[in-house]
Amino acid sequence: MTGQPVKRSVKIAGHATSVTLEAEFWDCLRELAESRGTSINQMVAGIDSTREANLSSAIRVFVLNELKRQAAG
């Protein structure tokens, strides 16, 4: 089902934390990580290091901005 939140565990600086995102955001985050040759954990750690909002929101904004950047060419 689309739009349903999915809770997953990610490691940031060696510590596990739970992040809840809709499946579509997890899919996009995985695709972005693969295209950069990195892991979801590493990508989330980078997002975490610069965020000002809660982690789930920061990930959503990151994914949105990346998709907008790709669409702009």
Q: Where are the domains of the chain?
A: 5-72
Query: How many separate helices (H) and strands (E) can be counted in the chain?
Result: 3, 2
Predicted local distance difference test score (pLDDT) of residue 73: 86
Q: Which CATH architecture has domain 5-72?
A: Orthogonal Bundle (1.10)
Q: Is the pLDDT of residue 1 over 60?
A: no
What mean pLDDT is predicted for residues 26-34?
97
pLDDT (0 to 100) of residue 53: 85
Tell me, what's the pLDDT at 6? 95
For the whole model, what pTM was predicted?
Answer: 0.91
Contact 35, 71 (CB under 8 A): no
